[in-house]
Structure 1
Amino acid sequence: MENWITICHLTALVLTVGVYISYNYEKNNKKVLMPRDVVIGVISARDHFTERQAVRETWGSQVQTALGMELVFVLGEEDCHIHPEDRISLYSCNKWDASIFQDIKDSETLTFFKSQQEPYQSNLKSLGDLECFTGLGIRVIHPVIVKTLSVRMDVVEHFLGMYIILQDPEEVIERRLITSEPHSVGNGYYNYRLESPLLLPRGFEGELILFRLMENETLWIGDDFSSASKKKWVCEWTNHSLLEYKYLRSSEGYVTKWTETYCPLIAAEFGVSDKDSFINHMNEEHHRNQEWKLQLDTVERKIQGEQDKFSDIVKVPGIDVYTNLPHKVVGFLKWVTTARNASLILKADDDTFVNIELLKNLTHGYKHDGLAWWSVFHHHHTVPLYGKWSDADYPALAYPAFPAGAGYLMTGVLAQRVNAAAGFVQAYGGEDVSLGIWVAAVAGSTKLFSVPCWIPHTGCSQTVLIPQLTVTQIKEVWRKHNRIL
């Protein structure tokens, strides 16, 4: 009898342990796959510790106590290992190879490229299609001094009375009338010396472009010019350590991403500026790299400590730099559609205040099982060629409709559709633009709800989002928000 009681006790104990393990297994899995009404993904840079804490202490605290809502901070999996001073651009993680300066003298004159003619090949398209690039977009990596502007000889011989212009996004920097009397000739180009050498600082972005004299339009080269030449021009481009060549503009105004196989009608001669600063830069590279590695190690440890304390960080694959933002958002959509069964998904930035009450009211009573999103939408926006949003890849002059970059709300169904196509679509410009392009491509029937008071503007006492705030401003908005409540 006692043995029977012992066996019963052991059986009960095993069953209890089994039920407990099963319960916790299901509980943990349900925690990962638990349905949510709204998941808010705050896109944050890895080292934005104070920004994330400001969100947690302000509007994020409402999410933490709200039933059916969740807030996570979305970070890239790794930092760029290249020190910011050694990158071509702060927006990307491409190393600036400055080794070319080792052999350049201060007085040496360089040109964008050296050109030569090759025999015409009958199987090529018309020379007009191949050679009519009247604009060249550049970014300066190390300061240069522009001395002359150049135009291909056969263009000048057929079209006198033109301007060659160097311009940035806001104004014309230099304008030079093209005549038949150049200051020098070389590489098949006429060179026209500037009255005063022009210093272009590191980071300068602009375009060298050919214009008609009497008309405010880009030069149009017709079939007459195409048939005048029986040679194809080939260019040997200068090392990228000084300049980054971004795009080429056709005579019709269309832009093509730069490639060394093309040879434009215009160029420039320049010299290297401030070589002493370059020498110092090279001498300090090893020390910079050591300091940067220590800094990145510290950032990683702090992120891990932050995650251990708050459990609200989602790391997505990729390097955490601005040009990777489209991939970062895709990583978040992949996580939220596989780890959460969310009816609605809000993307916001860590410098943005989110009014949770207005967010709830916005979608109250809406059936969230269709393709829809909410924001302020931009329509027929011209593709930018300069700055952090520059885009020489998109094949049209304007983008399809896309939401405000500060934030947008979408249904889980739409997020699933975008995530399913993520491996087949290309990133363009910013993440808001990319998302607009992707939605247009894979979910063209999506309903766009343009919310009148989504972001601040005249006539709105309150808005769903307030973007581009400092940590201090977010806290101040929160204090005012609580007084209203």
Structure 2
Amino acid sequence: MRHLLVLFLCPCVIGVAIHLWLLNFSGLYFWFSPWRQRKYDIVVGVLSARHNHELRNAIRNTWLQHLTQHSSLSPRVLVKFIIGSHGCDVPVEDREDPYSCKILNITDPRLLTQSKPIPTEDIRTDVCKFLKQEIESFVIPETVAVLTEHPVVNVNFRVLHPVIITRLGVFQHENVAGFQRNVTVKLFQAEHEEALFSARFSPASSGVQVNRIWYKPVEQFILPEGFEGTVVWESHDSEGLISGNVHHVIVNDAGGILRLTTVEEGLLPYEFTVGVEGIAGGFTYTVHEAEALLHNLETRPERLLNHLTALENEDALLQEESTNFQDIIFVPVVDTYRNVPSKLLHFYSWTVQFTRFEFLLKTDDDCYIDIENMFKMIDHKNLKTTNTWWGKINIFYGTLLWDKILPRIFRLNWAVDRTGKWQELEYLGPAYPAFACGSGYVISQDIVQWLASNSDRLKTYQGEDVSMGIWMSAIGPKRYQDKHWLCEKVCETGMLSSPQYSAQELVELWKQKERCGNPCACEER
């Protein structure tokens, strides 16, 4: 009987032992799991350019130092600088613009005029003469140009080195005697309603025919590097224009000085576009400052070598900085302005994977930040830890409703730019969805989780602030408006953030904050 009892109890004892062992094992796993890392109230992500060492040090010596030395705040906040792991390997002078890493791909004009480009003064002189001659922008093969039903046709172009437009022209088939149409040709600067210049063609005033295009001279303007323009042909007859597909014409771009900007397949044209895309004529131009162009191309190899050496030094400095301060997150992107939205998405993914928190503050390295005041405001507003977006929104009409939940009023009716630093080529509407200014805003952890989970599918736009607005329009968070998040370089008592300061200015603001509690000014006693 005793033996039977032992046999009966043994499995139970073994089961209990295994259960206790598994419990201990799971406890060990629990403690070493990422989910058992310290939980923070706020994770702060500071977007920073690779070369902004002074701004990062200014932050480390001001509000970040205050945080680390504050016994109650230090455990509640984690601060990380967000930096692209790769620098652009194209010198700034050789990029299409300073905001991207796209190479200015202009071919040496000597390759266009000489079978063996020998850099002699004679050849240099010949090339300069060639560039100063009138160049026809387009050659339209006879088989490409067809009579269409469209009364208005347009083509967009970009200037990558200064040019001077000398004539505007309209196409007509060779088998027609004389010019028998009534057409106006206008050249616009992008987003401008008034034409820079225009030419009117009629049977009585047809201009001069060159290679099936009738030209008329126009007032000559220098179109600078980066100029975005549109040529519009408009028929005043009952029939449409004779035009060709932009992808089938020959562009005489002088080695890459001009570039057509066409609507990609599958995309709709911009809302303000007039007519249909096509080419119904052309224009002639000369290259401005041809000597400067040649000099720039000749010195490019030396510039590239110096730039790559500087990049290596920058990499070494950043690695040393990261090792010393342990406050940098390198994200796998080329560090340029156009890639800032991608930097932010990568940081969101990092925070979700490696930290635990309730809120995330996004700011920039040129911003004054008051974390203590931020905690007070969170308590005062009783901000919810889910579905929350707290920031500053400029409203361009109606009454400003500060410190209210504005589910449909954030930064509204912000026009989309088609040129310059904020050039938007991806968002086709005339105005962005509501968004908060990027100097500082707070979002709850669940929003960060959603952004991180969808980061591979979220399309990035020209800026991280407008990108956030577009992304957030899909989930509709509660938007908390607060005037203390400043969008411009203004100092106000009680401000939570203020942007666009130099390193020295950030230090001075913080000194005054510590001395008298007011970063803007201390009263003389």
Give the TM-score taking structure 2 as reference length: 0.74
Alignment of 1:284-299 (within 5 A): 284-299=299-314
Q: Deviations over 1:288-332 (max 9, x none)?
A: 122111101111111111111100000111100111111111111
Q: Residue 111 and residue 263 in structure 1: after superposition, are their counterparts in 2 closer, same or farther (change >3 A)?
A: farther
Provide the secondary structure at the position in 1 that maps to 2:483: coil
Aligned residue in 1 for 2:389: 373
Match of 1:386 among 407, 419, 423: 419
Match of 1:175 among 189, 194, 197: 197
Q: Deviations over 1:24-61 (max 9, x none)?
A: 99877659942111111110111110110011111222
d(CA) in 2 for partners of 1:23 and 1:295? Answer: 50
d(CA) in 2 for partners of 1:100 and 1:172? Answer: 35
Alignment of 1:256-271 (within 5 A): 262-265=277-280, 267-271=282-286
Q: Deviations over 1:194-232 (max 9, x none)?
A: 24x3222323x2323549xxxxxxx6x799544x76986
1:430 aligns with 2:463: yes
Aligned residue in 1 for 2:115: none
Match of 1:300 among 288, 304, 315: 315
1:333 CA drift (Å): 0.9
CA contact (8 A) 1:333 1:419 kept: yes
1:97 CA drift (Å): 2.0
1:254 CA drift (Å): 2.4
d(CA) in 2 for partners of 1:311 and 1:251? Answer: 46
CA contact (8 A) 1:176 1:192 kept: no
1:278 aligns with 2:293: yes
Q: What is the Cα-based RMSD across aligned positions, in Å?
A: 3.6
Aligned residue in 2 for 1:350: 365
CA contact (8 A) 2:45 2:363 kept: yes
Aligned residue in 2 for 1:140: 159
CA contact (8 A) 1:246 1:392 kept: no
Structure whose CA Rg is larger: 2
1:36 aligns with 2:61: no
Q: Residue 111 and residue 330 in structure 1: after superposition, are their counterparts in 2 closer, same or farther (change >3 A)?
A: farther
CA contact (8 A) 1:33 1:340 kept: yes
Equivalent AA in structure 2 for residue 455 of structure 1: L
Q: Residue 269 and residue 466 in structure 1: after superposition, are their counterparts in 2 closer, same or farther (change >3 A)?
A: same
Equivalent AA in structure 2 for residue 89 of structure 1: D
d(CA) in 2 for partners of 1:210 and 1:230? Answer: 12
1:376 CA drift (Å): 2.1
Q: Give me the identity figure in percent.
A: 23
Q: Residue 277 and residue 39 in structure 1: after superposition, are their counterparts in 2 closer, same or farther (change >3 A)?
A: same
1:466 aligns with 2:498: yes
1:83 CA drift (Å): 1.3
Aligned residue in 2 for 1:450: 481
Equivalent AA in structure 1 for residue 76 of structure 2: G
1:470 CA drift (Å): 1.2
1:98 CA drift (Å): 2.0
d(CA) in 2 for partners of 1:349 and 1:266? Answer: 48
Aligned residue in 1 for 2:222: 199
Aligned residue in 2 for 1:150: 169
Q: Deviations over 1:155-182 (max 9, x none)?
A: x96655x562443667968323424224
1:287 CA drift (Å): 1.5
d(CA) in 1 for partners of 2:263 and 2:464? Answer: 24
1:362 aligns with 2:377: yes
Aligned residue in 1 for 2:435: 402
Match of 1:254 among 271, 275, 278: 271
Q: Residue 307 and residue 28 in structure 1: after superposition, are their counterparts in 2 closer, same or farther (change >3 A)?
A: farther
Provide the secondary structure at the position in 1 that maps to 2:249: strand
d(CA) in 1 for partners of 2:291 and 2:55? Answer: 38
d(CA) in 1 for partners of 2:197 and 2:27? Answer: 76
d(CA) in 2 for partners of 1:24 and 1:284? Answer: 62
Bigger share in strand: 1
Gaps of 5+ in 2: 1-25, 113-126, 174-178, 394-410, 518-525
Aligned residue in 2 for 1:237: 251
Equivalent AA in structure 2 for residue 430 of structure 1: G
CA contact (8 A) 1:165 1:210 kept: yes
Provide the secondary structure at the position in 2 that maps to 1:403: coil
1:60 aligns with 2:64: yes
Q: Residue 272 and residue 232 in structure 1: after superposition, are their counterparts in 2 closer, same or farther (change >3 A)?
A: closer
Alignment of 1:216-227 (within 5 A): 225-226=239-240
Aligned residue in 2 for 1:48: 52
Provide the secondary structure at the position in 1 that maps to 2:510: helix
Provide the secondary structure at the position in 1 that maps to 2:473: helix
Provide the secondary structure at the position in 2 that maps to 1:106: helix
d(CA) in 1 for partners of 2:432 and 2:237? Answer: 31
